[in-house]
Amino acid sequence: MSDLKVCYNILSQVYKQQTYGSISLTGKLGEAKNRDFVTRLVYGVLQNNVKYDYYIAQMTAKKPQNSAVILLKIGMYCIEGMDSMPDYAAVNNTVELSKEVGKQGSSGFINGVLKAFCRKKPALPQDGAQRLSVETSVPLWVVKQYIKQFGLQKTQEFLSCKPYELEHARINTLKTDIKGVEAKLDSVGAEYVEDPQCANCLFVRNGQKVRPLFDAGLITFQSQTSVKCCEIAGVKDGDEVLDMCAAPGGKSVYFAGAGENVKVLSCDVYHHRLELIQQYARRMGVKLNVRLMDATVYNKSLANAYDVVLCDVPCSGLGVAAKKPDVYLFKDKDQIFGITETQAKILENGSRYVRGGGTLVYSTCTLLKDENEDMIKKFLKQNRHFRLEEEKYFLPDGKGSDGFFVAKMRRIDK
């Protein structure tokens, strides 16, 4: 089987069966001869999905069948994104791929469209929002919402950012310190830089050189915005903390390491996710109380019991789309905004678990105001015994920051 066919099979699962790209890639990568090539091409197609849909619409009289669309997108990325593959080879390879996957009837059509694409790409839209949508390969409704919230210039800036190549790692100060980790990374020639914004954190080139440090619990991979969320929560020694939607456990583990006498209850609605949390805690050498719980259902036994409650709620995930490009697939505005009912239930329940003077933290990895600031405004209007202390958006910057939102509130009645 050719590597291009492996790519086609992966993308077919994504587009036709709505499988997550990372899951399909993991399941089929073992069939590849060149894993880096397959990974790059699959993610390249997904990252350019909106743009390629636009190109195909401009170059064809009617929308082709799904299999032909996938083939065209593979060919377009080979032409645009694979510098080592000449245009003629990209066209020929895609035509041969169409035959290999049993779509011989489309080979002439694929050949014609891709040759025309090599000669001249369709002109971009003139409208500012539509043009930005195509250029950044972000759905138009998302672009319009961002422009409304942040303005055209800022939206253009953060949507144009590419994911930072190095991965964010937090040092486990219960086992080592940053100098000790840097010495080990230097000894194996691993690439890294210190994070100037978060203490005891690095950006590292993830791979086999780094894996032993991860397995030993000396470091963990936790995004910069996730670490900042934990910092904003301000957990101190002696606090009792509730993490309502804890899996995979990064924030719970951070809190547990904030002091010798911090007690953390980590909850999730799925059994298999509880095991992920426990594995995370064991690797990092911290103790967590892990419990199965549906955060949308009020639990009277937890009322007024916690100094800090974190509601890291399920969300649309659009803030991390640069790393997970398939987040835009198969979702429309109504589907995404429908999740706000769940978010509101979790926030309301979480507020009832905070003791007087305690802290309530709400966070998402999305930038849509309906899931963020509008949610907080509505909550505070209905809950006068809470006061907003901090509210912050983090925008993608190409230097390690994802799209993220955090609101910190204080219960002011005793």
Confidence of residue 414 (pLDDT cuts 50, 70, 90): low
pLDDT at 1 over 70: no
Q: Which long-range contacts (CB under 8 A, 24 or more apart) does 88-96 make?
A: 88/118, 90/114, 91/115, 91/118, 93/4, 94/4
Residue 51, token pair as written in the block: 């743009």
Instruction: State in words which class domain 226-411 has.
Output: alpha beta
Instruction: State in words which class domain 167-221 has.
Output: alpha beta
pLDDT given at position 19: 84
State how beta strands 240-243 and 263-268 pair. Answer: parallel
Q: Which of 48-62, 126-140, 317-331, 336-350 has the lowest mean pLDDT?
A: 317-331
> Which residues have a Cβ under 8 Å from the Cβ of 311 and sit 6 or more positions away?
244, 245, 295, 346, 347, 350, 360, 361, 362, 363
pLDDT at 333 over 80: no
| Domain assignments of the chain as residue spans, ordered by start | 3-119, 129-159, 167-221, 226-411
The pTM of this model reads 0.92
Express each pLDDT in 58-79 by its tens digit.
Answer: 999 988 999 999 999 999 999 9
pLDDT given at position 225: 97
Residue 215, token pair as written in the block: 């397995």
Buried b (16+ CB within 10 A) or exposed e, 258-267: beeebbbbbb
Domain 3-119 superfamily per CATH: NusB-like (1.10.940.10)
Express each pLDDT in 110-139 by its tens digit.
Answer: 999 999 999 999 999 999 999 999 999 999
Q: What share of the chain has pLDDT > 90, as a percent?
A: 86
- Whether the Cβ atoms of residue 24 and residue 10 lie closer than 8 Å to each other: yes
Confidence of residue 363 (pLDDT cuts 50, 70, 90): very high
- Segment 28-32 mean pLDDT: 86
pLDDT given at position 245: 97
Q: How far apart are CA 142 and CA 318, in angstroms?
A: 9
Q: Sheet with 219-221: list strands edge to edge.
A: 192-194, 201-204, 167-171, 219-221
Residue 359, token pair as written in the block: 């802290």
Torsion over CA of 114, 118, 123 and 125, rounded to 10 degrees? 50
State how beta strands 167-171 and 219-221 pair. Answer: antiparallel
pLDDT given at position 210: 95
